[in-house]
Structures are given as structure tokens and as C-alpha cells.
A and B are shown apart, each in its own frame.
Chain A
């Protein structure tokens, strides 16, 4: 441990900690525009400067390690003036337009300028040239607003192992972007939106599609339904000042109804459906290899997360057969809504408009994939992020916190607890095991509270083994078999798992991958700013939602049973194959 003082307050921190970290522990706030916990120190913004007694220059507190007896001052005149100067210089280049910016009132630069009391920018000169990249369905980049903090570069390369963005050129001409000013659509970008979630300003945002939804709601001939992903209910409240981890399921339903949706449904319904299809697919692959002795693509990887799918298409096209052929719950929902549900209403697919609310930007890309037209038209019409839904509710003048709790509509609004946990890293695995174990043995998963503890939580790669005991006659070949599973979240961790599988170092049967750290609750479309503490709070909320339900296994969902009985037949049947399964394509990495 190292002892030092900050603003004359004694602090003790582990050796090698930075001043910034020590200040945080002492309850002293040092502003920064580039630092992100868990990522390598960037040191680009210079906002976090502090005075260290005896040192000639001000020190960047995010990168300067503490030393025994160090005396740090974070609020001297010299520090205040330097900090102000730095922010004024950033503002002098920043092509701001606050009032019309997507990040108005949700901008770290704007907030910091207010905090520092900047009323005038003393420096004129050239502004960063504006160049809008709207080439992708999910993300819009505006270089004029970029302050070159490089958070997006770090998260894209370190966390996601994608590396679509990097500083290009030099000096004032530096732009953060893909190689040689290419647009995002022409490079290996998985559209996960972690860059948009981490950007301190409005330089990278999701494509705003609120207007498309209003247009559909205003169209008299459209039956407009909405589905909300499991992760929304644990985060939407943050848009209205709730503590992270507040569940707002009932208020969310009420708000959607007041916005004018004809039916408020749940992606959870399709998550339960996914478990039946994907669980059956896994058991089929196991049967093929263990009983029939034929080669089957194992491990099987989950396919719910569209960023992960695109990652595999770019970086590991040789492993595409290992991806489950199941569409994501969002796309299963769209296909079912425009066929099964449309039939019930006596409507044609094109008369139904499906809006999704997702914690995710990659879902905007996913719904536009040409193969996602199983109903004959585009299965999901528009995807809004959690943030966009928050804005939409606010713009409609709805007092969110004053709303009553309401229930989802039938039939596509009913779900089990197994569907809720799709939002958390480890949740799809847990949901799949709850059902698969019961199919094979006829008994519930022998784990406390049905939770698969080893694969829960924020460790990057998690593993578990499950020995099958007491298999039913039909599944006798699995008796005594040990099922090895792994869970990874964040594509950097997924990359490690894929490498271990390819090298033969690890032999898994089933692997869950979620693109974003923490799973969907930490998605690129969630309220800013997501830290590990917030991830944990949202994860805990989702488990509470699951535990609060009577039905906690996907195969117990009566509406899903009805769907198979009335319409689909059986999992992996011909209709399922057409509506609920898909295929993948190789994409060039460079």
C-alpha cells in the first residue's frame, strides 16, 4: 500500500494505482474526457491534470502512478486555469451545435464546460471539418464533433478485438476513423455500438429512427406492434433518473401503450422460442456425433447477438458451421408476428409493422439483412435503442415515473424467467440448460434456484461442466456424458475462446457469446454511461425479474406450446426451418 495526500486528505491505495484512482477512493472528483475504467490509459484529453508538490509540470492524473508521501492538489488556481484552458481549446475546435446535437444534455463535454463555468471561448481559428459518415444502418459518425479522446479506438480494439477505428493522419488533420477515410460500411465493423456508448460527445451515435416509428403509428392502415428486448426493462428507468438496476417493466408497457402501439409484445416470447429451437439443435448435433458417429459442428455457438455473428463472418468464416442456425429472438419475433399473429388477425404481413426496442445498435443492421424476410416482407421494420425509446417517451410528454404498471398483451407478450435472463452474460446458457436438462432427464436442472452460478458474473470467459445422470430412454446415449460449456462476453473474450477451440486447447460442446461486456444489459444502445457497477446492478435486476416469475423454463411457456401446436409443428420442423433459422455469409476482413 502507498500513502499519499490529496488536497491534504490522507489516502492509502495499492501500489501502482494512479492518482485518479486514489482520488476516486478519497471521494474527490477529477474530471476526465478520455479515461475509461478497465481500458488501457489513454492520456489524450489532458483534462485530469493535477498539481503534485515538488513537480515542475502539472501531471495527468489518469496516467501518473502514486508515490509514497506524494502531495497532490486537484483544485489549485493553476489546475483550474489549466483545465479550463484545455476545455476551451477543445471547444474552439469542436463543431458543437449543442441544441441540435443527439447528445444535447447527455454530453460529457457540455457538462464539463458547465461545471467549469466556461462562458467564453477565448480562442478562434479553424474548426474541425465536418464529415458525416452515415454509410451503415446502425451508426452515424460526425468527425466535426470528435475531440480525439480515442475511447472508441480503445474499446473497438481492446474490448472488441475489431479495430475498425484508429487515428488517421497527423496534428490538426487527425481524424478518428477507418483506414484511409473509408466509410464504416466498407470496413470490418460489427456495428456493436460500443463506440457510440462510450463517446463523450456526439461524434458517434446510433441512427435516429424515431420518426419512422411515429410515421407508422400515424398510418391508419398499419397494425403497429412493438417488442422490447429483455435488457430494456432493467435500464430504461435510467433515462428518467432511476437508479441503475431499477426494474420498470410495467411502466415501460404503459408508456408504449400511450405512445399508440396497437399491441405491446415481448422479445422474451421469442427468447423462449429460441431456447426450444436452439436446445433441440444442440441435442441434435450431440446425437449426431455421439450416437450416429457422424461429424457435427461442435462446439455450437449461440447466435442471438448480431455483432458476434458479423464478427464471425469477418474474422472466422471457417467456423460459420459452428454457429447455431437459429435467428436471434428479435428476428424470430418479427417472422412469427408477420405470419402466425397476422393470420390470427386476418391481416397480410405487409399490414403489420414491427418495431423493436433493443439495447443494441447492431440490431439495426440485423433487421436489414436481406435474408431476414421470412414473412415475404422485412420481418422487423425499425429498431430503436433504449436511449431512443427514452427520448420518444419524453417527447410525447409522458410522465414516465407517474405511470401505472401494466401487463404485456397476449399472445406474443407472455414469457418465462428463462427469457428474462437472455439479457445477462451467461443467461442464454442458463436458459438453454434449464430446458435441455429437463428434456433429456425429465427432471429440473439440479442447481440452486436454477442458476448456473459458474457462468454468471463479469469474468471474461466462464466455464462449467454438467454430467448427465438419469437420462430418459430416448437420450440414453447421453447417460454419463459430461457437457462442457463456456460463456464469453465482449468480442475480445470471444476471440480468446475461438482461438482456444481452433488450437484444440479447449473442447466445448456449447458456447454462449454476447458481443457487449456484461451481455445485452451492457449493449451499445443502453443509457450512458455503463460502468461495471452499473452492469452489475442491471444484471441483478434481471435475475430478480426471473425469480419473480412462476414459469422459469422456456418449455413451460403455454403460448409457445400453443404456437407449436397451432402453427409450427415441432422444433426444427419444416416451418421452423423456414421462419426461424438462417444462414451466414463470409465477409472480407480487409
Chain B
């Protein structure tokens, strides 16, 4: 994965304004932003490490801790907030037994909040990975989560018999 990052860095080394796109790509490669990657980015783009850290800390999209299989983002934008987003969030916290920014111990779910996904008419919404779930009520949550739990188990199983496991 570091080799993959080095290819990206070679491509972006001279480009102005490269820091944010490179961080996005790095997060896509690793699933999060590990320290080794951040240091390598600072060096390759000739940016102070403090600046790289500042950008990572400023944008909630970036994470320095590995995330679970699925990322749940609860919208707390104005419309979702007034239509019960906060209740959805606390229900999720107790269902998953994690705080915002944390990952469940089985590494299936990470919980985060967002500020408006542009789906205010469907409020309150949550996003799990790239799926938008609309008009969510705390009571609907177990069913929604179940789909992903099931999915996670399935992919884990298939990974176990996948090409990597065989070789």
C-alpha cells in the first residue's frame, strides 16, 4: 500500500494544491491515514508536518484511526436535527455501544456525524457507506443494521475462501 501511495506522490509532487487530493487518495488506499503515510506525504509534497496535521484535523472526513467495515454517518444538519437526528444518533450509540468517532469492537461499524448530506426532504437521514437511509426512526435501526451485519459476515466468509486464503 505504501508503494501505491508513492506512485500517487510521484504524480502529485509538483502539482499545486495537491495536499487535500493526496490525503483523500491515501485514505482510500489505507482506509484511514496512518502516521507513516502522513509523514511520507509531508516529505514528498515538501509541506511541514504541522500543516499536513492541521488539514487532517480540520476536515472531519479524514480519520487517523482505522474504521470498521461500514461507516455510519448521522446527519445533524438543521433539517435532520429538528426532525430527530439527535435521537437517531443516541439510539445508534447505545445500539453499537460506541461514541462518535469510534468503531465497534468487532470492527463492523464506525460511527460519525455529518452536517447535511443534501437530502433535507428525507430528514432525518443517515448514510451507511454510500447508501442513504431516509426518514430513520430509532425503532427502524435494528433492521437497517442487520442488513450490514449480515453483509459483513458474508464478505468475511467469502474472503476466507478467497484467492488470498488459498494461496
Contact = CB atoms under 8 A, between A and B. Distances in A.
A374 interface: no
Which of A162, A170, A177, A180 has the most C-beta atoms of chain B within 10 angstroms of its own C-beta?
A: A180
Interface string B5-46: 000000000000000000000000000000000010011000
A188 B39 CA distance: 13
Contacts of B49: 163, 178-179, 187-188, 589-590
A252 B39 CA distance: 47
Secondary structure of the B contact surface, majority rule:
helix
B48 interface: yes
B50 interface: yes
B43 A164 contact: no
A589 B43 contact: yes
Nearest to B53: A179
A166 B51 contact: yes
Nearest to A179: B53
Contacts of B39: 590
B50 A170 contact: no
Contacts of B64: 180
B163 interface: no
A165 B57 contact: no
A166 B43 contact: no
A166 B48 CA distance: 9
Interface residues of A, number: 18
Nearest to B64: A180
A187 B50 contact: yes
Contact of A178 (B42, B50, B58): B50
A289 interface: no
Interface in B139-157: none
Interface in A141-188: 157, 162-170, 177-180, 187-188
A590 B51 contact: no
A162 B54 contact: no
B52 interface: yes
Given A163-B47, A180-B64, A590-B49, 13 more contacts: A163-B49, A163-B50, A164-B48, A166-B54, A168-B57, A169-B57, A178-B49, A179-B52, A179-B54, A187-B49, A187-B50, A188-B48, A590-B43
Interface of A: 157, 162-170, 177-180, 187-188, 589-590
A-B CB proximity, top 4 nearest? A163-B48, A179-B53, A166-B50, A166-B54
22 contacts: A157-B51, A163-B48, A163-B49, A163-B50, A166-B50, A166-B51, A166-B53, A166-B54, A167-B58, A168-B50, A168-B54, A169-B57, A170-B57, A178-B49, A179-B49, A179-B54, A180-B53, A180-B57, A180-B64, A589-B43, A589-B49, A590-B43
